[in-house]
Chain A
Amino acid sequence: MSNTTLAEGGNHLAGKYLTFALGSEEYGLEILNVREIVGYQKITKVPKTSREIKGVISFRGHVIPIVDLRERFGMEEKAVDDQTCIIVVEHEHDRRITTTGVIVDQVSEVLDIQIEQIEPPPQFGGAARVDFICGIGKMGGNVKILLDIDNVLSSANTTQWAEAAEEVVQITG
C-alpha cells in the first residue's frame, strides 16, 4: 500500500497525537481519545484478572481500570519511576464509551501529524495482527506507532499483538 492510497482513504488519521515512550519505542495516541494525564499512583489490585490489568484507581469520582501497556504488548516489566504516567483515555468497548487508564513509561509531546507523514501499517505474515495500529507516523528520522486505542483495549489475543509490535519495530526501525 502506498502513501497515496492512505491519503485517499485515511484523511481522518491526520491530526494531533499525544506521543509516549514504551522502552525504546515511540507510540502515538489520537489526542481526541486522551482525557487526562495523571502521575503514577497507588493502584488497587483486582483479583482474578489478566496480568495486563493492574487494578483500579479513583478518577474524578469514578473507578477506572488501569491497563499496563507493556504487559499488553508482551514487553518486559519495568520498575515504576518518576517518569511513569497514566494516560486516561476514552475508548469504545462493547459499543459503550469507556474510560480506562494506560500505564506508559514516559509521555513525550503532542505532535501535529499530516497525512503525508503517515504510512499504512505494514502487512505481516503469520498470525501477527496489526489492527491495533492505525498507521506509522514518520517525523524526520523518528517513527511513531499510531495506536487504535479501541482495538488495543479490546479483549483480543495479546500474544499476537506482541508479535506484531516487534515486527513493526524491526521493519520500520
Chain B
Amino acid sequence: MADRSSVKKVTEAAAQAFGLTGGPPEKDGLIKLMNDLVELLSNADGLDIATINAVWKASRKLQSCVENDDLNPAVLADVYLILIGDEQKHTSPKSAAPPKPAPESKPEPEPQPGKPTDEVLEEEISAAPSRPADLAPQAADAKKTTPKLDEKIKVSTDRLDNLVNMVGELLIDGQMVRVGEEKYIIPINNIRRCFRPTEDQISTIHGQREMVLVRNELLPLARLHELFEVEPDSTNPCEGLVVIVEGDNEVCCMLVDDLLDQQRVVIKDLGPLLNQTEGVSGGAIMGDGMVRLILDIPGVIKLYRK
C-alpha cells in the first residue's frame, strides 16, 4: 500500500530525472518515474484524493512527454510542479525538501468567482513562468531514443492505459453551470476565471466569430448553447456569464447562463455507445439521482474551432 513517504520518494526521484539537481533530463529516469507513478496509482489505498489526482495528472503529462519523445523543459517542470505542489500541501513549508524553482515575488491570487482560493493557487503554480531555465540546453541531448528505451516506454504506457481502463472512475472537483434547462459540470482545473462581460469587451470578426477582451487579451467566445444545441435564457453575452476555460494549452471563453454550485463528483463512463461524444468526458450522478455531463474542455474547444 502506498503512503505519503512513497510519494515523497518519487517526488525526490523526479527532481533528479528532470535534471533539477544539475544533470540533464534523463529519459531512462523519466520512464522509471512513470513506472513509479503507475505503481503509486495501483496501490493508492493509503493516499488521499488530492494526491491521487496530482499523481494521476503528472502521469498523464509524463506519458505524453515520453511517448512523443518531447523532453520540453516547460512540460517537465509542469509535471514536477504538480508533484511538488501536492507534496507541499502535506508538509510544513520548512520541510519542503526538493528544490522548487523559486518564483518571482507574486501578488496575492485574486479571488475568482466560483473558484476556491487553493485552486487559484494551484493554477498560479502551474502557470508560473518560473521554469528551471537550466533545463533548456540539456533537453536536446536527451532526445535520442534507443530501441530498448522504446520498449520500456511501451510497457509503461500500456500499464498506465490498463490502469485507466481498470479504474474507469475518477474523482474531480467540478463547477456546475446552467445553460437554459441543461446543467453541465466543468472541471475546476480547466477554469481560469469567470465574469459578466460588458458590451465594450465583446467584438466581432467578420460578423461571425466573437472575441472577448480580457485584461488586454482577446479570447474567442464559444456559445455553449450553440455548440450543444440547447435553448439558452439569453443569447446576449452581457446577460450571461463568461467562463474562461483552458485545455491542451488553448484558452477560450465559454458563454453560460449561470454558475451553480461546486461539487466533488465521480466521473462515470458513458459506455461504448456514447464515449466518443465530442465535448463530453463522462457523466456524474448527482444527489438528486440525475446524471450531469462533465465537459471535456479540450473537446469543447475543438468543437468550437470546427
Residues of A within 8 A of B272 (CB): 93-94, 96, 98
A65 CB-CB contact with B under 8 Å = yes
> Are B271 and A46 in touch, CB under 8 angstroms?
no
Residue from B182, B229, B270, B303 within 8 A of A56 (CB atoms): B270
Given contacts A44-B293, A98-B272, whether A58 and B285 have CB atoms under 8 Å apart is yes
A-B contact count (CB 8 A): 69
0/1 string, B260-278, CB within 8 A of A gives 1? 0000000011111110011
Interface residues contributed by chain B, number (CB under 8 Å):
25
> Are A47 and B271 in touch, CB under 8 angstroms?
no
Given contacts A63-B268, A98-B272, whether A48 and B293 have CB atoms under 8 Å apart is no
> Are B268 and A44 in touch, CB under 8 angstroms?
no
Interface of A is mostly: strand
Q: Give Cα A155 to B290, complex, Å.
A: 26
Interface residues contributed by chain A, number (CB under 8 Å):
25
Residues of B within 8 A of A93 (CB): 272-273
> Are A49 and B291 in touch, CB under 8 angstroms?
no
> Are A49 and B269 in touch, CB under 8 angstroms?
no
Q: Give Cα A170 to B268, complex, Å.
A: 43
B232 CB-CB contact with A under 8 Å = no
Residue from A46, A53, A100 within 8 A of B280 (CB atoms): A46
A153 CB-CB contact with B under 8 Å = yes
> Are B283 and A47 in touch, CB under 8 angstroms?
no
Residues of B within 8 A of A45 (CB): 182, 230
> Are A63 and B269 in touch, CB under 8 angstroms?
yes
0/1 string, A93-104, CB within 8 A of B gives 1? 110101110000
Residue from B274, B283, B285, B289 within 8 A of A49 (CB atoms): B274
> Are A44 and B290 in touch, CB under 8 angstroms?
yes
A57 CB-CB contact with B under 8 Å = yes
B19 CB-CB contact with A under 8 Å = no
